Structure 1
Amino acid sequence: MERRTALRTFAATGLGAALAACRAPGDGGPRAERSGPDASRAPASSPAPGGTALSFQLRSGPGGRPQVALTFHGQGTPDTTADLLRTAEAAGARVTVLAVGTWLDEQPASARRVLDGGHELGNHTMHHDDISAMDPEAAYAEIARCADLLTRLTGSPGRWFRPSQAKDCTPLVAEQARRAGYHHCLGYDLDSLDHTDPGPEAVARTVLDGVRPGSVVSLHLGHPGTVAAMPQILDGLAARALRPVTASELLAP
């Protein structure tokens, strides 16, 4: 009960901003149209809400506020996704899901479920192949196809792009992400290593040992051990007075 009481108060602020960041076509995210002579000329940085410029490559947020972003690579079963979101919501936490296009194609209801819970969606490529090894056109297609699918399902391609099988964007991938309209490559400063399936205790320990104000944590929807680790992670964040928010909230001025 203490965790739920402590974290439920987090839900009272920022929900409208989180949904707007995912849905609004003018939120600084990808443009709906990618054709024409200016389609590959997205700026290297864009204003955050309030006018503060964010760099293209982002790995963490401000360290002066008691907030963290739990970001999830979006693949997994509907049940695993729903269980994780319910656990987060019961604690008043909001998360960012970087969706894989094939997952969206197979589970379109999961995209709506993420947004309806007050969370946000971003782009994690269409097929989750090694985008850093692709030629420019193949990399662009991976990003643009997922962006188009997000737009069809939710009305917005989302603000954030994260490369598949990579922490950061290479120069080639960055160019193609800008070409697709994304202003930011969202990396992370803390890898939970949950994709190695070390067990819930190990996942929670890795997160709680490494987390700090402003951390962007990498997690995965498709691993049951991650869902099982969430109560301990949320308890530990509450004990540190760290509020789990979306990436858009974390990176707001």
Structure 2
Amino acid sequence: MEHIPGRRRNPWIDFALITFILALTGAIVFFITSEDGKAFSHSQKTAAGSPIDSTVTKESSTFPEVLVVTEKSTERSVPFFIQYPQIEDEKFNTIIEDYIQKSKKSYINDMLKSKNKDGNTSPPAALTIQLDTYQHNGKYFSFVFTEHISKNDKDIKTNIKTIFYDKENARTIDIRTLLGEDINSLETLSHHIRTRLKTSPTSRRSIWPDKVDLATEPRWVLFDQFAISHNELIIYFDAGMIAPAKVGPLSINVSLSFLNPLLASDFQQPIGTTETPPASQGNEQKRVALTFDDGPHPEVTLQILQCLERYHAKATFFMLGNRVQHYPDIARKVKDAGHELGNHTWSHPVLTKLTAAQVMNEFATTEEAIFNATGQEATVFRPPYGATNEAIEQNLPRDGILWSIDTLDWKHKNADKVVAMVKQQIHNNAIILMHDIHQSTADALPAVLEFLSKEGYEFVTVSEILPYH
């Protein structure tokens, strides 16, 4: 048989082919590792070793320090959509990735088990992990993960996970650190959250009271699901933890102004302004803080509000909890008019004659009544009769605010005498004590406001005047 020798291939063709393969490989590697927001492929293996393909994107967020990673399954049988943060701190990134991988692995394996049982007739449940990011004081980040497993657009399971991160010190912070490891602060927070859950119009109809008691025991681990946003601490409870699962996760927001004394010193905010008020210079601005105790009253408080509005004057109302409970609409009108809300205890007792627990109950129940009526927490506190001591000041979250001028309206109930007392004692940065439960006080107020206006006084709240004391 005749042998026909094969042709020898041109070496330039081999070179071109090798170059093309190398270029293609490099392009694929670049595509997979790119972090400029373009999608790249990813494979997640189940416990059985079966790969689950997904695409991953990385995009910038509202905060320059934080990238948002989005991972989406490309397999219809195991659908998931996951978001999580990535920063320069690798230790933090490892914590996040461990959480994501654990949640994803558990979900994938559950779906595959369900598929083996049901075959392909039942539509798969979907996993979604949604990320919300909040920044506080420019140095703290709250990362809140809401993990949903849903089927046919109905939630099967919803959990919350939070991480509070200190970027200056590259560390995560738990509730124990936030409260300075002070068990008394935890007990105060625990009582506050429990009372809020049981009295809030939005939660009290759906919660299980006995479950709330268990979930709000003063144990550190029960309060580690938290975030800080818009100067409020948010405490989260998973769906099904304190209410039926169909209600979904519940949360309670607590003003940082209320919590400030409970926080560790590193997290406390300066009271009032951080700047020292300017020294007196001849034409110093005159200020006065009008305060009204013991209300709200269904008639007198409304008259006082109308008078204050005519003079464009702001005031501070120190309210009794039991009266707020009876007249929540009046308390709400005080808030809506832009006045400051103050706590004056529930029943106006002499606090120095009560036990520490009784004092706290007087304070906390009034906080709840004011919040439930107005949707806003009190910002200041005044002890009845001005009766306080060091133990009370240390145990309550706010210092007691007294006064510098007592009109004695509670004693003489005479409008002319109220006006005379103000004229005799007025001084700059005065805090004037009156009561919005006496008709004589409402009758005296127009003359008081007229006099102070002519004297050049600006009407401010207690919080606004305190820095000048």
Please indicate the TM-score interval, normalised by the length of the shorter structure. Answer: 0.7 to 0.9
Structure 2 residue aligned with 1:104: 324
Q: Aligned pair 1:47/2:267, yes or no? A: no
Whole-angstrom distance in 2 between the partners of 1:87 and 1:217: 16
CA contact (8 A) 1:78 1:110 kept: yes
Deviation at 1:225, TM superposition (A): 0.6
Deviation digits for residues 16-50 of structure 1 (CA, Å, limit 9, x no counterpart)? xxxxxxx9747652139xxxxx959789x951454
Higher strand fraction (1 or 2)? 2
- Selected match of 2:345 from 96, 120, 125: 125
Q: Aligned pair 1:170/2:393, yes or no? A: no
Structure 1 residue aligned with 2:420: 205
Deviation at 1:132, TM superposition (A): 1.8
Helix, strand or coil: the match of 2:395? helix
Q: 1:69-108 alignment to 2 at 5 Å? A: 69-108=289-328
Equivalent residues, number: 213
Q: Which structure has the larger Rg over C-alpha atoms? A: 2
Greater alpha carbon shift after TM alignment, 229-238 vs 168-177: 168-177
Query: In structure 2, do the counterparts of structure 1 residues 42 and 87 end up closer, same or farther at CA, with 3 Å as the change threshold?
Result: farther
In the alignment, structure 1 segments of 5+ residues that lack a partner are 1-22, 33-37, 55-61
Whole-angstrom distance in 1 between the partners of 2:360 and 2:295: 20
Deviation at 1:159, TM superposition (A): 1.3
RMSD of the TM alignment (CA)? 2.9
TM-score (norm 1): 0.75
Which AA in structure 2 matches 1:113? K
Whole-angstrom distance in 1 between the partners of 2:370 and 2:411: 28
Identical pairs, percent: 24
TM-score (norm 2): 0.42
Deviation at 1:151, TM superposition (A): 2.2
CA contact (8 A) 1:28 1:159 kept: no
- Selected match of 2:259 from 31, 44, 50: 31
Q: Aligned pair 1:142/2:362, yes or no? A: yes
Structure with larger RCO (C-alpha < 8 A, sep 6+): 1
Structure 1 residue aligned with 2:335: 115
Query: In structure 2, do the counterparts of structure 1 residues 28 and 252 end up closer, same or farther at CA, with 3 Å as the change threshold?
Result: farther
Deviation at 1:52, TM superposition (A): 4.2
Whole-angstrom distance in 1 between the partners of 2:385 and 2:466: 23
Whole-angstrom distance in 1 between the partners of 2:427 and 2:410: 21
- Selected match of 1:233 from 431, 434, 448: 448
Deviation digits for residues 188-216 of structure 1 (CA, Å, limit 9, x no counterpart)? 11111000134100011101211111001
Deviation at 1:161, TM superposition (A): 0.7
CA contact (8 A) 1:25 1:156 kept: no
In the alignment, structure 2 segments of 5+ residues that lack a partner are 1-229, 234-254
Whole-angstrom distance in 2 between the partners of 1:133 and 1:53: 37
Helix, strand or coil: the match of 2:259? coil
